[in-house]
Structure 1
């Protein structure tokens, strides 16, 4: 009905291209417009001023001969003041943008190794945006933003990268485990050395206490029984200890059979051996 009456509505964020007999006349803004078709005037087309997005997938090769798919996301819009250029100069702006993205990506990525491609995505996006801005502004289009949203190596390359990463982490874990085991062994050895040292100190103190006790007993007995020498007292003490030991062995039912020299002469030998051992322990013990 509106077309029959010569009325045309242009939506918000859109401009229309008004022509008369096929020649551009003016840009019409959003709203209702009287277009007398009988005079050869019509709206040849409409141009959206909204931000649009184009995702471009480009396959290229890196410096280390790895094929990757680079996905670039370009956000662009028509410049209202240059609506004539945006509508008439390019037949397909999306195809033009895609061509420039291909050109920049395939010129930048082959200079980088694969790891650098992942690390320098923002640099690649900036190069694409700068190149597009220079080219598309002349055609009435503004590049709002360009992003490299994905870098996809070949599946076998991704698998190899994961295996390398896993091997590195495994090697690091093995090294850390070995260091922990080494530290544990060192601490265990230090603890064992400290334990042996303390045990030796305890044994030395025990022997010293025995020697001191025997010496005091010998001295006390010598004073109380005149005419006895220290050797006689020590022999008597050793004999007493000897018979006490024999008594304990015989009284216990859980002891195994023990064969020891026994007799009047053997007692002297045992006493001599015990006395020599105590005296040697006393001489070697620090006071």
Structure 2
């Protein structure tokens, strides 16, 4: 009885398998694949079936690796990459590949060298997102038979040798100097254009003022001519007398102390102006 009880307990212990959520168990019978157990309680045939492999299905990260590559313009670069993946079909992973991490790392290195060899250095630096997408897609196609899924591929850094770095720094400084010269030249050009616009505007305003003055004088001449045509010689004498009075007023209003001597004709002009003004009023 004790032996039978012990056999039953041992059979239950061997036949019941509890699989964690983060794992899948590969069951073999006589060395051949029998089943893949998912999370939860599972039952197998005691003494015939055994759990040969316990495979984690959590996402994994490969250690950061560095690959040397030569660009299309013959520049040696060192690319640091990292790959994230997870196992989705453990029966393929355990039976088709021995060292999955090393296999993925080798595949990534080959793809990185091949792709960078088709790109120039400037493209590698500026189009890193496109390079990452290309690496991820190509790695996913290669590792599909291994029962894994590549979730992410990252390019952490692209390093250059010292000579190339110094040459790029010199080129960058030259480009900055060129841009500064172009900016200064454009500023000087703009200043000259603004000065020319200001001179043109001033000339236009002066011409406009002269045109208005000429139009005013022409209008005054027309009015005087009409007055003379209507009133005869008296209107002409009146205008001449006014001009003489204005001229004498300007002479008398000058700075300093001076004595103004009026000729007899000027006195007569005043008298004539007053008479004409009185007559017009």
Give TM class, smaller chain.
0.5 to 0.7
**1:11 aligns to 2:20 (yes or no):** yes
Q: Secondary structure at the match of 1:202?
A: helix
**1:64 aligns to 2:73 (yes or no):** yes
Q: Is the 8 A contact 1:76 1:142 kept in 2?
A: yes
1:273 aligns with none
2:249 aligns with 244
RMSD of equivalent CA atoms: 4.7
1:272 aligns with none
Q: Is the 8 A contact 1:56 1:72 kept in 2?
A: yes
Q: Is the 8 A contact 2:70 2:76 kept in 1?
A: yes
CA distance in 1, matches of 2:176, 2:24: 57
Structure 1 stretches lacking a partner, 5+ long: 250-254, 268-287
2:158 aligns with 152
- Residue 113 of structure 1: how far off its partner (Å): 1.0
* Mapping 1:73-84, distance limit 5 Å: 74-80=83-89, 83-84=90-91
2:148 aligns with 142
Relative to structure 1, is the Cα distance of residues 172 and 96 closer, same or farther in structure 2, using a 3 angstrom cutoff? farther
CA distance in 2, matches of 1:145, 1:10: 24
Relative to structure 1, is the Cα distance of residues 28 and 85 closer, same or farther in structure 2, using a 3 angstrom cutoff? closer
CA distance in 2, matches of 1:224, 1:85: 127
- Residue 15 of structure 1: how far off its partner (Å): 2.1
**1:48 aligns to 2:53 (yes or no):** no
TM-score, scaled relative to structure 1: 0.61
Q: Secondary structure at the match of 2:253?
A: helix
CA distance in 1, matches of 2:177, 2:10: 72
CA distance in 2, matches of 1:33, 1:163: 71
- Residue 46 of structure 1: how far off its partner (Å): 0.6
Q: Is the 8 A contact 1:218 1:233 kept in 2?
A: no
Q: Could you tell me which of 233, 239, 263 is aligned with 1:223?
A: 233
CA distance in 1, matches of 2:10, 2:206: 108
- Residue 185 of structure 1: how far off its partner (Å): 3.4
CA distance in 2, matches of 1:104, 1:173: 44
CA distance in 2, matches of 1:61, 1:173: 37
Relative to structure 1, is the Cα distance of residues 125 and 242 closer, same or farther in structure 2, using a 3 angstrom cutoff? closer
Q: Deviations over 1:202-259 (max 9, x none)?
A: 332344356557667877886349xxxx7x877755543332112222xxxxx3689x
Relative to structure 1, is the Cα distance of residues 127 and 211 closer, same or farther in structure 2, using a 3 angstrom cutoff? closer
1:187 aligns with 197
Structure 2 stretches lacking a partner, 5+ long: 1-8, 267-281
**1:199 aligns to 2:194 (yes or no):** no
More displaced stretch, 4-13 vs 189-198: 4-13
Q: Could you tell me which of 193, 210, 218 is aligned with 1:208?
A: 218
**1:86 aligns to 2:109 (yes or no):** no
CA distance in 1, matches of 2:257, 2:148: 107
**1:115 aligns to 2:109 (yes or no):** no
- Residue 49 of structure 1: how far off its partner (Å): 3.5
- Residue 127 of structure 1: how far off its partner (Å): 4.5
- Residue 99 of structure 1: how far off its partner (Å): 0.8
Q: What is the total number of aligned residue pairs between the two structures?
A: 250
2:6 aligns with none
- Residue 176 of structure 1: how far off its partner (Å): 5.8
